[in-house]
């Protein structure tokens, strides 16, 4: 068996083809886990898998049958699921008048339904076994509102409440459920879904104006916190929403 914080642990990471999900896959593999990467972006998933040795399952986390099937397949292959990380997410940048029904449903179906479907599928195995850990991706915008990202803020508020409520439901069974609440992280999502993508200078200005630490984070700085929450190092931590935001939420 390999050594490391997650030695021999069976982990599933959604959204593992890009950004913080991909950084989590790398961190988990380095920590000794056997990782299945779930993403709808097949090419991106295969790139990360080639680099890390993760197993790829291509699909859409907003499809409940896919979620049940992919988790059941991991358990059938490896005998259990120890860790689930829900990193898959999408954003729509608009206030209510610029958010049509499809925009709203798309954000809710991935960010909220996807977290629920994947977690439910994993908990069906973790709860009877009496062990396991789920780490969700919330956001600083799950705790406070932000202008121009209505559906996204609503979805991340729901992720924070799913995290707390599931933690209470499963604490007695020994299954822990936590979330990270990232601030502004340097990933493809940060510049996506905008009419004019921000330049490097725009992002520096944003950091200078809004982040106490005066810089964006890199994905691996969030993945380290995910690794901690997923591991036995955090064995007395459940229902926590951990900010990884360079100090924004302290203000």
Ligand X SMILES: NC(=O)c1ccc[n+]([C@@H]2O[C@H](COP(=O)([O-])OP(=O)(O)OC[C@H]3O[C@@H](n4cnc5c(N)ncnc54)[C@H](O)[C@@H]3O)[C@@H](O)[C@H]2O)c1
Least Å distance, CB 78 to ligand X, is 20
Among the residue ranges 10-18, 77-85, 94-102, 163-171, the one whose residues contact ligand X (CB under 6 A): 10-18
Least Å distance, CB 181 to ligand X, is 7
Chain centre to alpha carbon of residue 63: 17
Is 19 an interacting residue with respect to ligand X (CB under 6 A)?
yes
**Does the annotation mark 152 as catalytic?**
yes
Residue tagged active-site, from 117, 137, 141, 152: 152
Site for ligand X in 209-238 (CB under 6 A): none
Q: Could you give the C-alpha distances from 238 to 60, 120, 164, 208, in angstroms and in order?
A: 27, 17, 8, 33
At residue 113's C-alpha, the angle toward residues 109 and 116, to 5°, is 165
Is 203 an interacting residue with respect to ligand X (CB under 6 A)?
no
How far apart, in whole angstroms, are the C-alpha atoms of residue 59 and residue 102?
Answer: 20
Among 13, 31, 61, 112, binds ligand X (CB under 6 A): 61
How far apart, in whole angstroms, are the C-alpha atoms of residue 15 and residue 7?
Answer: 22
How far apart, in whole angstroms, are the C-alpha atoms of residue 141 and residue 147?
Answer: 10
- What string marks each residue from 108 to 127 as x (binds ligand X by CB under 6 A) or -? --x---x-------------
Least Å distance, CB 173 to ligand X, is 26
Site for ligand X in 23-42 (CB under 6 A): 39-41
Nearer to ligand X, 31 or 244 (CB): 244
- Tell me the residue number closest to ligand X, measured at CB: 19
Least Å distance, CB 108 to ligand X, is 11
Among 30, 60, 103, 204, binds ligand X (CB under 6 A): 60
Is 244 an interacting residue with respect to ligand X (CB under 6 A)?
no
Catalytic positions, written as ranges:
152
* Binding residues vs ligand X (CB under 6 A): 14-15, 17-21, 39-41, 44, 60-62, 87-90, 110, 114, 137, 139, 182, 184-185, 187-190
């Amino acid at each position: 068996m390999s050594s490391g914080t997650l030695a021999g642990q069976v982990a599933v990471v959604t959204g593992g083809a890009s950004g913080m999900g991909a950084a989590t896959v790398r961190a988990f593999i380095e920590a000794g886990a056997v990782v299945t990467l779930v993403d709808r972006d097949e090419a991106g998933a295969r790139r990360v898998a080639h680099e890390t040795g993760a197993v790829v399952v291509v699909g859409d986390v907003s499809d409940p049958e896919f979620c049940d099937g992919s988790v059941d397949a991991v358990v059938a292959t490896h005998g259990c699921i120890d860790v689930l990380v829900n990193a898959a997410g999408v954003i729509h940048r608009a206030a209510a008048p610029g958010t049509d029904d499809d925009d709203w449903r798309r954000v809710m179906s991935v960010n909220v339904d996807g977290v629920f479907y994947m977690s439910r599928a994993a908990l069906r195995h973790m709860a009877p076994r009496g062990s396991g850990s789920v780490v969700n991706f919330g956001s600083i915008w799950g705790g406070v509102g932000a202008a121009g990202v209505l559906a996204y803020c609503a979805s991340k508020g729901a992720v924070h409440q799913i995290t707390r409520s599931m933690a209470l439901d499963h604490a007695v069974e020994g299954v822990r459920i936590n979330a990270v609440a990232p601030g502004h992280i340097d990933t493809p999502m940060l510049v996506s879904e905008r009419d004019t993508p921000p330049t490097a200078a725009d992002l520096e200005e944003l950091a200078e104006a809004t982040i106490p630490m005066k810089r964006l984070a890199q994905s691996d700085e969030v993945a380290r916190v995910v690794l901690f929450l997923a591991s036995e190092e955090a064995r007395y931590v459940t229902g926590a929403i951990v900010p990884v935001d360079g100090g924004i939420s302290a203000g």
